[in-house]
Structure 1
Amino acid sequence: MRTVTLGALAGHFGRDVDRGVAKAIGIIEAARADGVGLLVFPDASLGGYIGDLRNPALDDLPPTLAPDGPEIAALIAAAGDVTVCIGYAEAAGTLRYNTAVCLSGDGVLGTHRKVHQPAGESLAYAAGDAFRAFDTPVGRIGMLIDYDKTFPESARALALGGARVIATLNAWPASVTDRAARLPADRQSRLFDLYDCARAAENQVFLVSSNQTGVMGSLRFLGQAKVVGPGGDILATTRSKGGLATATVDADGEIDRARRVLDHLHELRPDAYRAAAPSGHT
């Protein structure tokens, strides 16, 4: 991978799909002018996220879009040589998925359906069942959607598949049970950063983490978009504000340097981990 500018967006996206598409196109065009090679939008940028994690209102779910519909086509047309990851509610027959799509001017490069579902999210979406890395103009990458990154196995599967950059698209709110008065003091704010840094460091990859801002229903989103290096160090962040966090890196060079002495993926001992699986899991 050549030197590339990685960009993680923190921004508010609501139910209005047309407005979301227009906003996304404007951000893509500005990012291209600034030399961004990989631009990661938040989860649910096209149509917004659910408004309540425990009891999502079934009469106010995000509108579903077809993967080959005009909205994704408009983003492909706008992307040009920028690799873009963006989230939406995917229509798949009678099911709906919380989905991330990676695209460029060449078309769709990869897709991920959110696997891990917190609280009552399963009432609003079906669950995905796989983590896959794929090739893009900026190298081999993989995608996670918010709660997916809570589970180390998710990012590890992508890294073992060759991903050197992991894009995590988030609609990550402050605590729904014990919200702090200030977002930076909220326990979910701490966990959000902790998971980002841990997933990058344990796999020795770059991690580009976007997030929603503002409010949707009862949820108040944290922002905190960031780029994390393969040592777990935060290279750029928006903190709790909206904006674009960018870092220009020699991704292959930095990853190779991080793995020069201690190479976590090559030093795995999967034969020793079997007893660690919970009862009923293999």
Structure 2
Amino acid sequence: MAPTRVGAVAGHFGRDVARTLAKLEALVAGARRDGTDLLVLPGATIGGYVPDLQPGREAGTQDLPPAFALDDEAVQHVRRLAGSMVVCFGFCELDDGCRYNTAVCVSGDGVLGRHRKVHQPVGESAAYAAGDGFAAFDTPVGRMGLLVDYDKTFPESARTLALDGAQLVAALSAWPASVTDRAARLADDRQARLFDIYDAARAAENQVVWVSSNQTGVLGDLRFLGQAKVVGPGGRTLARTGTKGGLAAVELDVAAEVARARRVLHHLVERRPAAYATAGRTRTWAESVR
């Protein structure tokens, strides 16, 4: 099977939708010239993310990102730009009066998959409703799944996608530096370290190809980390950017790499679900020491 060229974008995408669409035209055209098959853009690509994550903030008092229906022209414009490529990007989706932090996967043929962010950090619920599930889907580059930033903190998110057959996971982020304990250098920030740990761990524990994008720059009170990367199913980073804008790209045979990682130790097969029966509930202290 021919190798798949996978690219993860680190870049700044803010409120100016017209400017973003013009930027995407150049970015997608460049990726196509490079032979890219799968291009993963950051979370909140169209319209940007929220400007802060202060708890207790009411939705009406924030500079919220613009919201679009799935069939809105801005969203469909990116679909047309994709053409024969597979492109993943984020936006604030408006559906039945609710706003969601959504990632979509498109090609010129239409929407291939959609994910609404399930896990919300403190302060985000004023801007978005929460999604309610994780599902893989088929694409020209293989079966894959989507996550939106904080989702990857929870191992169950990626595991659900892997159990549903995903061999590729696109994790789209607008992931900022720590808002409570900022480091002088982004590379030294606590959240920068966690961002990298989660990317490597989720890839390795599920033995999948992990494509992690992220915003860069500043929006409101938030300073985004960048650190886009492609991680192989053994947890090794194959390509990455720094804290500034850029593209982390690599060519690989996704199915072959996943098969090789699972040849001896196959984590999904070797699970013991019966032993995890209490994982969904809180145990009392007395139960834990029996």
Deviates more, 1:21-30 or 1:237-246: 21-30
Tell me what 1:67 maps to. Answer: 70
Tell me what 1:259 maps to. Answer: 262
- Superposed displacement of residue 174, structure 1: 0.4
Tell me what 1:119 maps to. Answer: 122
Paired residues for 1:1-282 under 5 Å: 2-55=2-55, 58=60, 59-279=62-282
- Distance between the aligned counterparts of 2:68 and 2:45, measured in 1? 12
Residue deviations 1:2-21 (CA, integer Å, cap 9, x gap) = 41011000000000112112
Tell me the TM-score normalized by structure 2. 0.94
- Distance between the aligned counterparts of 1:154 and 1:135, measured in 2? 18
Q: Secondary structure at the match of 1:215?
A: strand
- Superposed displacement of residue 81, structure 1: 1.0
Moved segments of 4+, more than 6 Å: none
Contact 1:225–1:245 under 8 Å retained in 2: yes
- Superposed displacement of residue 94, structure 1: 1.2
Overall identity of the aligned pairs, in %: 63
**Paired residues, number:** 280
- Distance between the aligned counterparts of 2:69 and 2:105, measured in 1? 15
Q: Which amino acid in the other structure matches residue 5 of structure 1? A: R
Q: Which amino acid in the other structure matches residue 79 of structure 2? A: I
Tell me what 2:286 maps to. Answer: none
The CA RMSD over aligned residues, in Å, is 1.2
- Distance between the aligned counterparts of 2:211 and 2:279, measured in 1? 29
Give 5+ residue unaligned stretches, structure 1.
Answer: none
- Which of 1 and 2 has greater Rg? 2
- Superposed displacement of residue 277, structure 1: 2.6
Give 5+ residue unaligned stretches, structure 2.
Answer: 284-290
- Superposed displacement of residue 190, structure 1: 0.4
Residue deviations 1:29-60 (CA, integer Å, cap 9, x gap) = 11010011100000001000001112456341
Contact 2:14–2:47 under 8 Å retained in 1: yes
Contact 1:2–1:252 under 8 Å retained in 2: no
Contact 1:7–1:36 under 8 Å retained in 2: yes
Residue deviations 1:46-103 (CA, integer Å, cap 9, x gap) = 0000011124563410000110011111111111111000000001121100000100
